[in-house]
Structure 1
């Protein structure tokens, strides 16, 4: 097994920073960093109630609906965003106080966090089947749906890959999320 492949079964649920939900951390950099000193972090959260999000001062966040009906986010008591369309990233500040109103049942959400003083990042959804070269700033590829073939083996939904510069093959009907991070 390659150290570049992270299987969903290898990630364990852990409580949110505020203890009001659960997340499965996929990767962070540096790998030995804590919640207060990572440069970037990728996770998949379960949102199953109207619990507030944890705050992360100094962090820029992107969230992407993976499964479920989604929810409406109220940021700092004023601005609202309906996170109801799967695979469309939404960026917000880690300092924001975020309350949610569920649109239906539980959801799964992909999250990228970047330490603002270090750099910038974004999440891109890729749906075009065929061979692709990773963007040089891609730190993680997450299989949201379908199958991806890499030099390190086949990946299924819920698996992730820490890419080197080798190409990957996206199967027809598959969707991957590319987490991009680069220093300022």
Structure 2
């Protein structure tokens, strides 16, 4: 099985609440559903002020990829402006999240981790240069530019399931590295 996942192979599917579109990149275990995955990674398209789906027991990290972004209101209290691209924001999946658009449509990267089983984070890598992948790196998403791996080249929107071999990010390239550590 190829460790490179091409953007063109990531098919759109409805959000859990049916109010938006997401493109799942990967999940573990691969045959898990929404109620039993350990981690899931996707890119969502936010085109309107629709509330987010809730995921009780899940820790979420969201990163604006492109577009004007939006203001998130969590449980009617905490507000967060997701308007700066490539800045991860963590929040609990059971939070009720209302959205106020700051412009047109946006795309965002999402890491969801079942908190009783694992902990997750999203690291931002920038090029040019070589980056060695950490042992807890489960997926690298190329947000901008181009890169080379031992498995082949990546273009913006492609993802790679890394081992500990390095990735070479070219000038202007930016990547999001999803890292997951088991709580065992």
TM interval, shorter chain, is over 0.9
Runs ≥4 residues deviating over 2 A: none
Q: Give the count of matched residue pairs.
A: 183
Matched residue, 1:138: 137
Mapped pair 1:94 → 2:93: yes
- Cα deviation, residue 130, structure 1: 1.1
Give the TM-score normalised by the residue count of structure 1: 0.98
Alignment of 1:78-117 (within 5 A): 78-117=77-116
- Cα deviation, residue 3, structure 1: 1.3
Q: For 1:142, what is the secondary structure of its paired residue?
A: strand
Gaps of 5+ in 1: none
Gaps of 5+ in 2: none
Give the TM-score normalised by the residue count of structure 2: 0.98
Across the aligned residues of Structure 1 and Structure 2, the Cα RMSD in angstroms comes to 0.7
Matched residue, 1:178: 177
- Cα deviation, residue 166, structure 1: 1.2
Matched residue, 1:124: 123
Q: Give the Cα separation in 1 of the matches to 2:128 and 2:136.
A: 21
- Cα deviation, residue 42, structure 1: 0.3
- Cα deviation, residue 128, structure 1: 3.6
Matched residue, 1:45: 44
